[in-house]
Structure 1
Amino acid sequence: MPTRADINYFGAGPALLPTEVLEDAAKALVNYNDTGLGIAEHSHRSEIATTIINEAKADLASYLDIPDNYEILFMQGGGSGEFSATAYNLVGAWVARKHKELGSEDSSAEKLKSAVKNLKLDYIITGGWSKKAAAEAERLFGSEHVNIVADSRKSNDGKFGTIPEESTWNLSKDAAMVYYCDNETVDGVEFPQFPKSLEPKGDDGPIVVADMSSNILSRKIPIQNFSAIFFGAQKNLGSTGITVVIIKKSLLPQPSVALMKQLGLPIPPRILEYEAIAKSNSLYNTLSIFDVYIAGRVLKKLLQQYPDKVQGQQAVSESKAQLIYSALEAHPSVYKIVPDKTVRSRMNICFRIQGSDAAEQNFLKQAATLGLTGLKGHRDVGGIRASNYNSVSVDGAKKLASFIGTFASQGGNQ
């Protein structure tokens, strides 16, 4: 029977968590701070819960250098819920902005109706998650309001694995938002840096929204380039159950329900309305305080471990990724790395073994006997995927890199 110390887990999510955080959480689940109750039993309206939420928000802001003009929200529904929430809320913010520009005259509603005809939500499709986000926007608002800025499959033989050149992007002039997924877990594609064509141009936008579910906390982010960032907790932050949104406070106010209905636009369920969640300090409904607690403990550990905050973790993440990619590159006749070299993810290292599916199954079987688990590729694409999240140790990355070399020296199919 293997112990926790025997396993190096490379699963894509839910992902590995620091052992000391789990041990602390296990105690808190039974008896939190000698209160006689477990943390999951305390009211989410209690002072204990409020303190946990506020400390987690403060530590996240410190670790990522989030400015005061942004709000941090703890929500539910995962990244998939945010595909809907971002579209709902930022269309609302767009309407509020247009309404203010047009003034309050009687004719403003008619002018707004005319303006809504040109409403666009922009999507940059580079993998399965951005594809799903765009599809959700089409389902909610109609294809006439969704603009596909770029689709990497069109220039890559129908497959994901690249990011189209920015010179080919077809950005709308006044989009309610421009969405992209910073790291695509399925195909191992990561934006190497913030896109130049989306850099701020004064006060007029663009309104940039990023899904950072799988690479948050792993590298420094130019927060002020974004209008909103969202991420599920279960990759680098904590356990499954909470989703975090970082959003400019100026985008929180929403137009009236009556106005949205008059314009023929959908309104979000209250539980997905950022303004309502912000006003209640993320306690509009019963939030899982236990999951916020775990996230908070992860953040405190990171802040203690890295005096230079996220930059320290970034150096480690890049080092681990380089170890694994170098091992793969050393044996090109055995391994084929899936994405183009210019967009290789540091978080999800996707590769195939040349020859046959049987060779990949043998790789997975041999790896498991060494305690290298969670390496099976996504069900839609197959292959091998090593998810190199923050809690994967340097020693774990070294062990995987060593096995990659050993397997190749055996001929890649032993």
Structure 2
Amino acid sequence: MTRHYNFCSGPATLPLAVLERAQSEMLDYRGKGLSVMEMSHRSSDYMAIAEKAEADFRDLLGVPDNYSVLFMQGGAATQFSASALNLTGRGGTPNFLDTGIWSRKAMAEAERLTGAHLAGGSKSNGYTATPASDSIQLSDDAAYLHFTDNETIGGVQFDRLPEVNVPLVCDMSSSILSVPLDISRYGVIYAGAQKNIGPAGLTLVIVRNDLLEQAQDSIPSMLSWKVMAENGSMYNTPPTYAWYLAGLVFEWLKEQGGVEAMAVVNRRKAEKVYRAIDGSRLYDNPIAVGSRSIMNIPFTLKDEALNDPFLRESEAAGLLTLKGHRSVGGMRASIYNAMPEEGVDTLVDFMAAFEQRHWKG
């Protein structure tokens, strides 16, 4: 078996140790004679899996006791709707920062359901930098401020939290567990699993408990954070295998030294790629240095005729899924927690060799 380096933005690479453990437990989970996929979510064996996963996740991020952790379905996009419906039952308008495609999608969904207010954003700088706190203009009736911590497609990431006097709601799908967080500064954090947590289909939601009482009366039960909190995320059958695999990832992260240790490695990996881009004649990254993502690094080739050769040769070298999103073009290297530093080193070496072979400028 040959394992390549997968730079996909999601579903993304998983730790090899996690895949191997899941493989070893696939047919017979710890002598129980069945797979986790076949277990009742109400069984004592599965409840132990679920409870440990939540405990490890709380430990990794230092989630305070006055916050609920929910394991939900539907991906982060479902939380675009859920956020608006869970937080406007007492009135108020959702406010948004527009820093890229995913924040705009979240705002569009809220606009359709409850109305929305654009409080600031990055359009004026071409989506190359996050907005300064003093540029944010909340509506008089702001229910919360939503922002996307890390724009997966554009490669723009906040280096500081917006300073506002309303709850912060953050889509952290492509950056959660990559650096330490002060959870107490947020009202809500949600994250699709398929980047730094596990397989697609699972979404983690961290919500301050006082906000559980602010939902609209008509909210569907499956979107209600309060319903999910009261039912231990098991109002219906949850995505049990994805929850199990997420738990294995949390265990693996703790074995690596936790989020603090991962942050050191993640910053070092990102620095290597940015150094390779900034020091080259062929590659370019348009994002302002202070707003550069450490998880998703887009770059372009100054000669677009070299795009296809770059992709063909990189794939042949075992470097997969480097093509940029169709909306922005170019290339993108997603270097989540599970991307080993050796993979980044291999990419950097390939980029230098490709430039030497092909650049004629």
Could you tell me the TM-score, scaled by structure 2's length? Answer: 0.96
- How far apart, in 2, do the equivalents of 1:319 and 1:390 lie? 12
- Say if 1:162 and 1:74 are closer, same or farther in 2 by CA, change over 3 A: same
Say whether the 8 Å CA contact 1:321–1:346 is kept in structure 2: yes
| 1:319-398 alignment, distance < 5 Å | 319-331=268-280, 333-356=281-304, 358-398=305-345
| Cα offset, 1:164, TM superposition | 2.4
1:6-405 correspondence to structure 2 within 5 Å: 7-92=4-89, 95=90, 116=91, 119-142=92-115, 146-153=116-123, 155-156=124-125, 159-195=126-162, 197-198=163-164, 205-254=165-214, 257=217, 267-306=218-257, 309-331=258-280, 333-356=281-304, 358-405=305-352
**Sequence identity (%):** 40
Structure 1 residue ranges without an equivalent (≥5):
96-115, 199-204, 258-266
Letter aligned with residue 300 of structure 2: R
2:85/2:216 contact within 8 Å kept: no
1:333-387 deviations in Å (ceiling 9; x for gaps) = 311103222211000000100022x211111111111101110001111110000
SS, match of residue 70 in structure 2: strand
Q: Is the 1:362–1:413 Cα contact (8 Å) retained in structure 2?
A: no
- Report deviation, 1:320: 0.2
Moved more, 284-293 or 246-255: 246-255
What's the offset of the Cα at 1:9?
A: 0.9
Runs of 4+ in 1 over 4 A off after TM superposition: none
| Post-superposition offset of 1:254 | 4.4
Task: Describe the superposition over 1:147-184 as per-residue Cα deviations: whole angstroms up to 9, x where unpaired.
Answer: 1011311x12xx32222232222123442110000000
Report deviation, 1:255. Answer: 6.1
In 2, Cα distance between equivalents of 1:58 and 1:78: 21
Give the number of aligned pairs: 361
Within 2, Cα distance between the matches of 1:17 and 1:363?
A: 25
Q: Which position in structure 1 is the counterpart of 2:357?
A: 410
Which residue pairs with 1:100 in the alignment?
Answer: none
Backbone CA RMSD of aligned residues: 1.5
CA pair 191-236 structure 1, distance change in 2 beyond 3 A: same
How far, CA to CA, are the matches of 1:189 and 1:248 in structure 2?
26
Assess if the C-alpha contact under 8 Å between 1:254 and 1:275 holds in 2. Answer: no
- Specify the code of the residue in structure 2 equivalent to 1:384: M
> For residues 338 and 138 of structure 2, what CA distance do their matches in structure 1 show?
37
8 A contact 1:175–1:207 mirrored in 2: no
Query: 1:122–1:171: 8 Å Cα contact kept in structure 2?
Result: yes
- Contact preservation (8 Å) 2:69, 2:204: yes
